Amino acid sequence: MPALAALEAGTPAGTPVWLADDAQSGPRGVAIVERWLQRTRLRAEYTRRAHPIGESAHLQEMLKACGDADVVVLAADARPLPGWLPQLAACLAARDAAIATATPYGATPARPRAGRDWARSRHRRPSRC
């Protein structure tokens, strides 16, 4: 899985990681995760539900289990670059303590191009709701 390889390469050793599966991975995916767990340098744990409860409810339960800890939630297909976590932590530490979320832009087609996409989007008519 490219996402696990990127997480491994881009995250400081010893960082706690919880892979929480809402019963979405099939046998091949579970086997890949289990092999990765045996060799990772991260403090990784993996849990898998017997039956899915839905992404939103699953995330809510995960966050509740984390209590007051600072948490970073990554999509299953996220490919973080080296240094992503220290940079994100520094960004949050240097800003207003009331900030609850931070969303980095990545190299995706949805990323706005400064001065171009935003200016054009202001003049577009909204699509159907």
Specify if 55 maps to a domain.
yes
| Single-letter code of the amino acid located at 122 | R
Q: What is the pLDDT along the chain (129 residues), one digit of tens a residue?
A: 689 999 999 999 999 999 999 999 999 999 999 999 999 999 999 999 999 999 999 999 999 999 988 888 888 888 888 988 888 888 777 767 677 677 666 555 444 444 444 444 444 444 333
Look up the domain containing 32 and give its range.
2-122
Residue position matching structure tokens 């080296």 = 82
Specify if 79 maps to a domain.
yes
Specify if 127 maps to a domain.
no
Specify if 129 maps to a domain.
no
Cβ burial 13-48 (10 Å sphere, 16+ → b, else e): eeeebebebbeebeeeeeeebeebeeebebebeeee
| The model's pTM | 0.72
The length of the chain is 129
Domain count, the chain: 1
Specify if 128 maps to a domain.
no
